[in-house]
A and B are shown apart, each in its own frame.
Chain A
Amino acid sequence: MNGAEQAAAAARKQDIRSRWLLSAPALLIIFVAAVGPLFVMLLYSFMVKGDYGDVKLGEFSLEGWTSVFFQRDIFDDTLGLADAHLSIIWRSIQLSFFTTVLTVILGFPTAYFIATRPPHTREIWVFLVTIPFWTNLLIRTFAMQQVIRNEGLLNNALMWLGVIKSPLQIMYTDTANLLGMTYVYLPLMVLPLYASIEKLDFRLVEAGYDLYATRFQVLRRIVIPLVRPGIVAGSILVFIPSLGAYVIPRVLGGGKNMMLGNLIEMQFGSGRNWPLGAAMSITLMVLVTVALIFYVRNASRGGAGHV
């Protein structure tokens, strides 16, 4: 190695070092803000719970983790499955899944409608879709409550039309949760769907009709496969916050129809079981990650031929 090469290598090293130094503040913030709290959660999940909340630092226990899925019988001290927790986790997954399905069913025609408007009116429609974001989630949830409560808009309208005689009990049921989440998360489905339908080459739709496809066949065999990336992106955006939803089940679902988010909050609040809460949070994160991996795999497989 001659002198010039050595100098060049040294300069390169210097360059790399200064790049690291320059990005250090950003990396530090990311580490402290994102990885730090996660690490604290992980640590707390392995501690003994404190008597009035908090944890006894330094006293290790697996109690927090085992009580996510199992519970000790108060009489004979044997371990059994924690039915309450599992049913809440299962309900969360189910409700999130159906929310995703409902938002696709409602969001697809909406996005298709917007994407097929003339270019200058599309922007207005997209703008209208984003209007709910201007309002706080809590307010929107209470608005939903006004619609579905016993003396609410929906029941009054149905009774006035004579469809029902006594009000439907929607509040404090899973249906209330489902309606609330569908309403709140619908824009998150419409926007990515719109983005991918807008890019759709409508000459392909014409080609489909030309080759004897019916409307439904064009939708199933041409449009849906081609906008699949949008469906996947929208599903991720809806499914993940649904799984961790807290405000909506709290307001609309009441105490009986808790979701995972409420269960976790309870452990940190009245439950005074921080290790359990921490373990549940990490469980939720794992669920979300698994769902993400599943979706992304699915997307890359289906979208391989799509340009």
Chain B
Amino acid sequence: MTDTRTTAAHGGAIGLHGIKKWFGTFQAVDDVTLDIRPNEFFTLLGPSGCGKTTLLRMIAGFELPTEGQILLDGADISSLLPNQRPVNTVFQNYALFPHLSVAENIAFGLKMLGRPKAEIGTVVNDMLRLVHLEGRGDNPVTQLSGGQQQRVALARALAPRPKVLLLDEPLSALDLKLRKSMQMELKRLQLETGITFVFVTHDQEEALTMSDRIAVMSAGTVRQVGSPWDIYDRPAERFVADFIGETNFLEADVVSVSGSAARVRLSSGAEISASFPADAVPTGSVTIVVRPEHARAGAPTGMSVLRGAVHDIVYLGTDTHLHMHLDDGTTFTVRQQNARSGHCGFSKGDTVGIDFSDGVAQILRD
């Protein structure tokens, strides 16, 4: 593995500038500008039809942008053919060549680049080792399991040492357990090879687990770009907050703003501090979000931020979800970790007080 480490840190930077893509009268991508840094694990996350795959296919060269520029390490590659771009793709269905063996599949790219036979042999062996398929080189790819085919697809795309590896929902065909282990595997491969990974998925958990940064997309536009922590804890707008994980929305009024935090007054009359997106200083009435696990339920006291009645208790093994109706009618969920065994201590109809620490609340941009 040493040889892959020595060549590490050669990942390319991708710049997308004002990318628009029309298919007939349908606009798949609407003015996307993104900068993907070298050696980063970058994820395009969004529901199906949000344009994330189209964006990936434009980086690969399978589609040409209607407008805009694609830069690789500063050079414009917008008009290059797929076989002229030092970028490789791991396809959703793997797209392995069924008439070739595992080793021939992995060697394909290098062979097309006209590399010497000896070098191809060495790289193929390295790749087989990298994806834990030693000794399977002569197998026909059609006889492999889904997980193994996935590894071959990865090895095939990594073998020519691309500057950027594009992954189009590569884990969606695998079962849950395999998917979890492949997530770790992908992260390891990215760190070991130092190649920039651009990963497309609709699975928020997958995105949070592996990514250095995530771009959340919706209807052809990028809604928010940030680290998994940013995206999860500091969603900038309703779509992002709603798409990633579960969340509670509360109406509030801004009392004052100082620096990067604001004081807001909730419908219960309590005042809390909340953070807000840097580009949108809040005024007037706003929507804030509080993640269910950031809130605590307890006996109602005068200090409680909110008050509500339990209307459903869902036991999930590791956690218990308490679904509540607040006094003003909005619903609110508290997620409690089951630190001790036994009952959570609440029953339906109980009136409870809800608390959360200062700063966990986030004000949404309108």
Apart from A210-B61, A212-B112, what are 9 other A-B pairs with CB-CB below 8 Å? A207-B91, A208-B97, A209-B81, A210-B87, A212-B113, A213-B83, A226-B99, A306-B98, A307-B142
Chain B residues, Cβ within 8 Å of A217: 112
Contact of B97 among A209, A214, A222, A304 (CB under 8 A): A222
A210 to B82, CA, bound (A): 5
B151 to chain A, nearest CB (A): 16
- Could you say which of A74-82, A110-118, A198-206 contacts chain B? A198-206
**Is B18 part of the binding interface, using a Cβ–Cβ cutoff of 8 Å?**
no
**Is A305 part of the binding interface, using a Cβ–Cβ cutoff of 8 Å?**
yes
Contact B97 A207 (CB under 8 A): yes
Contact A211 B142 (CB under 8 A): no
A53 to B80, CA, bound (A): 74
User: Beta-carbon contacts of B79-112 to A below 8 Å, as 1s and 0s?
Assistant: 0011100011101010111111000000011001
Chain B residues, Cβ within 8 Å of A307: 98, 142
Complex interface residues of chain B between 58 and 87 (CB less than 8 A to chain A)? 60-62, 81-83, 87
Contacts known (A305-B142, A307-B142); A210 close to B97, Cβ less than 8 A: no
**Is B277 part of the binding interface, using a Cβ–Cβ cutoff of 8 Å?**
no
B105 to chain A, nearest CB (A): 9
Contact B83 A209 (CB under 8 A): yes
Contact of A201 among B62, B95, B100, B140 (CB under 8 A): B95
Contacts known (A206-B62, A305-B100); A214 close to B83, Cβ less than 8 A: yes
**Is A271 part of the binding interface, using a Cβ–Cβ cutoff of 8 Å?**
no
Complex interface residues of chain A between 197 and 255 (CB less than 8 A to chain B)? 201, 203-204, 206-214, 217, 221-222, 225-226
Contact A203 B83 (CB under 8 A): no
Contact B88 A210 (CB under 8 A): yes
Chain A residues, Cβ within 8 Å of B141: 305
Q: List 19 A-B contacts (CB under 8 A).
A: A201-B95, A204-B95, A207-B91, A207-B97, A209-B82, A209-B83, A210-B60, A210-B82, A210-B83, A211-B83, A211-B88, A211-B108, A211-B109, A211-B160, A222-B97, A305-B140, A305-B142, A307-B98, A307-B142
Number of interface residues of B (CB under 8 A): 27
User: Beta-carbon contacts of A52-83 to B below 8 Å, as 1s and 0s?
Assistant: 00000000000000000000000000000000
A201 to B95, CA, bound (A): 8
Q: Is the interface of B mostly helix, strand, loop or mixed?
A: mixed
**Is B323 part of the binding interface, using a Cβ–Cβ cutoff of 8 Å?**
no
Contacts known (A209-B83, A210-B82, A210-B83); A225 close to B99, Cβ less than 8 A: yes
Chain A residues, Cβ within 8 Å of B60: 210
A206 to B95, CA, bound (A): 9
Chain A residues, Cβ within 8 Å of B61: 209-210
A213 to B96, CA, bound (A): 14
A221 to B105, CA, bound (A): 11
A230 to B82, CA, bound (A): 28
Contact B91 A212 (CB under 8 A): no
A213 to B112, CA, bound (A): 5
Contact of B109 among A201, A212, A222, A305 (CB under 8 A): A212
Contact of B89 among A210, A214, A304, A306 (CB under 8 A): A210
**Is B52 part of the binding interface, using a Cβ–Cβ cutoff of 8 Å?**
no
**Is B156 part of the binding interface, using a Cβ–Cβ cutoff of 8 Å?**
yes
Complex interface residues of chain A between 252 and 307 (CB less than 8 A to chain B)? 304-307
Contacts known (A209-B82, A210-B82); A203 close to B95, Cβ less than 8 A: yes
Q: Quick one: closest B residue to A228, CB to CB?
A: B99
Contact A211 B112 (CB under 8 A): yes
A126 to B74, CA, bound (A): 48
A305 to B95, CA, bound (A): 14
B49 to chain A, nearest CB (A): 19
Among B60, B62, B112, B160, the one with the most A-chain Cβ atoms within 10 Å of its Cβ is: B112
Among A203, A207, A213, A306, the one with the most B-chain Cβ atoms within 10 Å of its Cβ is: A207
9 closest residue pairs by CB, A with B: A211-B109, A207-B95, A212-B112, A209-B82, A203-B95, A305-B99, A213-B112, A225-B99, A212-B83
Chain B residues, Cβ within 8 Å of A305: 98-100, 140-142
Among A206, A210, A214, A221, the one with the most B-chain Cβ atoms within 10 Å of its Cβ is: A210
A207 to chain B, nearest CB (A): 4
A279 to chain B, nearest CB (A): 43
Contact B99 A306 (CB under 8 A): yes
Q: Quick one: closest A residue to B114, CB to CB?
A: A212
User: Beta-carbon contacts of B128-171 to A below 8 Å, as 1s and 0s?
Assistant: 00000000000011100000000000001100100000000000
A219 to chain B, nearest CB (A): 13
A225 to B108, CA, bound (A): 14
B256 to chain A, nearest CB (A): 55
